[in-house]
């Protein structure tokens, strides 16, 4: 969980970047599968808004959102867009990128999506129901 100070920085950066896209329901930090070099995967942020899910690039040092890369519908957080799921992490296909999120963060993002927006209840690869 973020400290209150860090959460305020993230909220301020999101408000500045999103404009009229709606209120942010939840935000999670992750890493893209795309490699910049042999040892570095770019940091990404995922924000669930009223309109959909935003994929954001983030600043390396503070993990604060920098720019909006793509916007996808809420259904992108659910199968068949899950490429791998384990005990600790989930890989989600968001547009052209695959983003690795901690399982706790993934569950927080999916919990804020209204029931009508999820579509049918399905099992993700490790057998848990979504």
Other beta carbons within 10 angstroms of residue 1's beta carbon come to 7
Structural domain of 56: 4-118
pLDDT of residue 35: 66
pLDDT of residue 92: 92
Kindly give the pairing relationship between strand 43-49 and strand 89-94: unpaired
Q: What angle do CA 6, 91, 22 make, to 5 degrees?
A: 50
Within-domain flag for 79: yes
- In this structure, what CATH number is given to the domain that contains residue 11? 2.30.29
Within-domain flag for 110: yes
pLDDT of residue 91: 92
Within-domain flag for 123: no
pTM summary value: 0.76
Burial class (CB in 10 A: 0-12, 13-18, 19+), 20: exposed
Within-domain flag for 127: no
List, run by run, the mean pLDDT of 10-residue segments along the chain (130 residues). Answer: 73 74 80 73 87 86 82 89 86 89 90 62 44
pLDDT of residue 101: 92
3-state secondary structure the chain: CCCHHHHHHHHHHHHHHHCCCCCEEEEEEEEECCCCCCCCCCEEEEEEECCCEEEEEECCCCCCEEEEEEEECHHHHCCCCEEEECCCEEEEEECCEEEEEEHHHHHHHHHCCCHHHHCCCCECCCCCEC
Within-domain flag for 109: yes
Within-domain flag for 46: yes
User: Alpha-carbon distance 111 to 117, whole Å?
Assistant: 11
Within-domain flag for 20: yes
Q: How many domains does the chain have?
A: 1
- The residue count of the chain comes to 130
Within-domain flag for 111: yes
pLDDT of residue 124: 45
């Amino acid at each position: 969980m973020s400290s209150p100070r860090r959460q305020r920085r993230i909220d301020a950066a999101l408000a500045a970047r999103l404009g009229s896209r709606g209120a942010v329901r939840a935000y999670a930090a992750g890493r893209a599968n795309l490699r910049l070099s042999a040892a570095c995967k770019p940091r990404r942020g995922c924000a669930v808004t009223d309109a959909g899910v935003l994929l954001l690039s983030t600043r390396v040092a503070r993990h604060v959102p920098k720019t909006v890369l793509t916007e996808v519908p809420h259904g992108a957080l659910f199968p068949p867009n899950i490429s791998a799921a384990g005990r600790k992490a989930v890989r989600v296909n968001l547009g052209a990128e695959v983003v690795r999120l901690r399982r706790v963060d993934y569950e927080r993002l999916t919990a804020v999506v209204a029931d009508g927006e999820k579509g049918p209840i399905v099992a993700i690869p490790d057998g848990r129901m979504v």
